[in-house]
Amino acid sequence: MSKPKVLFVSQEIEPYLKNTPLSTIGRNLPQYTQEHGKEIRIFMPRFGNVNERRNQLHEVIRLSGINLVIDNQDHPLIIKVASIPSIRMQIYFIDNEDYFTEKVDITKADGSLLEDNDERTMFFARGVLETIKKLAWKPEIIHCSGWFSMLLPFYVKRTKYKDNPFFMESKVVLTLYDDDFGESLAASMSKKMKVDGGTQKDWRYYKEPTYLNIMKAAISYSEGVILASDKVNPELIAFAKENSKHIVEYVEDEKELYAKINEYYDSIVDLDED
């Protein structure tokens, strides 16, 4: 019996970014999942404030080199990798000189969003999927954490990737936090995304790309959601329930939450599949 494959796509992971609830789960949940019999891959953005030298990132030449077109412009995809040796866990980083050189992550020094966050999220989502294709690794579950990863469900379920054999049977799971960014991404976001697929039903969310709309879109394309905070926006929880999504309820104990998540993984994956 083959091990179930879980793809983790996270906005933040310790020790590469500061200690937050999101980065802690980004670091510890994959380890727990790996130790409980599943095969994993982990991706995050190579934000400009990730210290490459201290964390020993290096480029993977065989995976780099694809050009992704965003708003009619070519952007080279660079894949870097680092390891957490003590637990034999490897992290893949999506990088690009146009989007990830400024020494920040998703906000400026004054706390406001970067103006090109819409394109950066698009590049990140597509970069992950193109790299998975190059790795020839077929995930049964794609688990997205943090709003910066929340275009993955759209690309997996509503664009050309939905017919790709690597993703057509993948189940999408989301972790929800209290990470509302309080602004709107670029108004032109839906126009830039239309070239990749989607329908009028999708654009009702992305025409006004607020935090709530982006998250509602991601929920609508997912199989289930994980509540990783007791302060998740109630409107999102209600939306998930209205759309019959499985909900893993929040528990304060970290290990208990991870156990509940892995039980949910098992419930949506055919463990007898060869």
Please tell me the predicted confidence (pLDDT) of residue 270.
Answer: 67
**Mean pLDDT across the chain:** 94
How far apart are alpha carbons 205 and 39 in whole angstroms? 33
Between CA 34 and CA 48 the distance in angstroms is 28
What percentage of the chain has pLDDT greater than the value 70?
Answer: 98
Model confidence at 126: pLDDT above 60 = yes
pLDDT in tens, 93-106: 999 999 999 999 99
**pLDDT reported for residue 193:** 93
CA–chain centroid gap for 172, Å, is: 10
Q: Residue 1: its pLDDT value, please?
A: 62
What's the start-to-end Cα distance of the chain, in Å? 5
* DSSP strand pairing (246-248 vs 224-227): parallel
Triad 142, 255, 52: Cα angle to 5°: 60
- Asked if pLDDT for residue 198 goes beyond 90, the answer is no
* Model pLDDT, residue 273: 43
- CA distances in angstroms from 241 to 107, 115, 234, 235, 249, listed in the order given: 31, 33, 11, 10, 12
Pairing of strands 5-10, 39-45: parallel
Write the burial class of residue 29 (CB in 10 Å: 0-12 exposed, 13-18 middle, 19+ buried): buried
Place 274 in a pLDDT band, splitting at 50, 70 and 90.
very low
Contact in structure between 190 and 206 (CB atoms under 8 Å): yes
**Among the listed residues 254, 176, 188, the one whose alpha carbon sits nearest the alpha carbon of residue 216:** 176
CB neighbourhood size of 32 (10 A): 17
Q: What is the mean pLDDT of residues 86-115?
A: 93
Q: How confident is the model at residue 130 (pLDDT cuts 50, 70, 90)?
A: very high
What's the confidence (pLDDT) of residue 61? 96
Are the C-beta atoms of 91 and 80 separated by less than 8 Å? Answer: no
pLDDT tens-digit series, residues 204-213: 899 999 999 9
Q: Where are the alpha helices (DSSP H) in 59-198?
A: 117-135, 152-158, 189-193
Q: Is pLDDT at 32 greater than 50 in this prediction?
A: yes
pLDDT in tens, 35-83: 999 999 999 999 999 999 999 999 999 999 999 999 999 999 999 999 9
- Tell me the whole-structure pTM to 2 decimals: 0.96
Instruction: List phi, psi (to 5°) of 102.
Output: -65, 140
Fold that domain 5-268 belongs to in CATH: Rossmann fold (3.40.50)
- Tell me how far apart the alpha carbons of residues 43 and 149 are, in angstroms, rounded to a whole number: 10
pLDDT above 90: percentage of residues in the chain: 88
HSE (side-chain half, CA atoms, 13 Å) at 67:
6
For residue range 63-75, list pLDDT tens digits in order: 999 999 999 999 9
